[in-house]
Amino acid sequence: MDSSRLGIYGASYGSYLAVLALARDPLYRYKCGVAKYGDGDILTSWAQGDRAGREDLERQMGHPSANPTGYRAGSPVYDVANIRAPLLIMHGERDARVHPKQSEQLVEALKRADKTFEYVVYEDEAHGFLRKDNVLHFCATLERFLDWYLL
């Protein structure tokens, strides 16, 4: 394995983990990351998401009022200053599971920290990209991003 060409990619919960890894890896192993419709702040995600998402978070972490410290500690949006790698963020505007405001909040934090990122919103997608044109655009954008930062 060529460790100089290591990226991290995830969708939904995997996206959350990818951003968390970029923000908290003390060895800075990843040269770039891709976050596809994921959470950045699990407290606001709990408040903005659908019922199933809220119930899932509560099963894992308890109600936010009983564990505000845990919800903040589990949210990579507060650690973007530690991110050194470029990040590609993609989200569907109609996402009810992980509200698009999750990506917007992450983008704003990245801007404040003067980080390198790209942000793409698909107006006609929900949680998962299903429309052929959007899937093709996603794949082309992903390929270009990885070519630029890993090759």
Confirm if 33 and 7 have CB atoms less than 8 A apart.
yes
User: What is the structure's pLDDT at 124?
Assistant: 97
* Residues 6+ away with beta carbon under 8 Å from 120: 88, 89, 90, 91, 137, 138, 141
User: What is the structure's pLDDT at 42?
Assistant: 96
pLDDT digits (tens, 9 = 90+) for 25-39: 999 999 999 999 999
CATH number, domain at 74?
3.40.50.1820
39, 95, 99, 103: the active-site residue: 95
12, 15, 45, 75: the active-site residue: 12
| Domain boundaries, position 41 | 3-150
* Total count of domains within the chain: 1
Q: Helix or strand or coil: residue 141?
A: helix
Can 95 be counted among the known catalytic residues? yes
User: What is the structure's pLDDT at 3?
Assistant: 75
Q: What span, in angstroms and rounded, lies between the C-alpha atoms of 146 and 140?
A: 10
Residue 36: which of 110, 148, 151, 129 has the closest Cα? 129
Q: What span, in angstroms and rounded, lies between the C-alpha atoms of 129 and 84?
A: 28
pLDDT digits (tens, 9 = 90+) for 84-129: 999 999 999 999 999 999 999 999 999 999 999 999 999 999 999 9
Q: What is the DSSP track for 86-105?
A: -EEEEEETT-SSS-THHHHH
39, 91, 103, 127: the active-site residue: 127
pLDDT digits (tens, 9 = 90+) for 37-51: 999 999 999 999 999
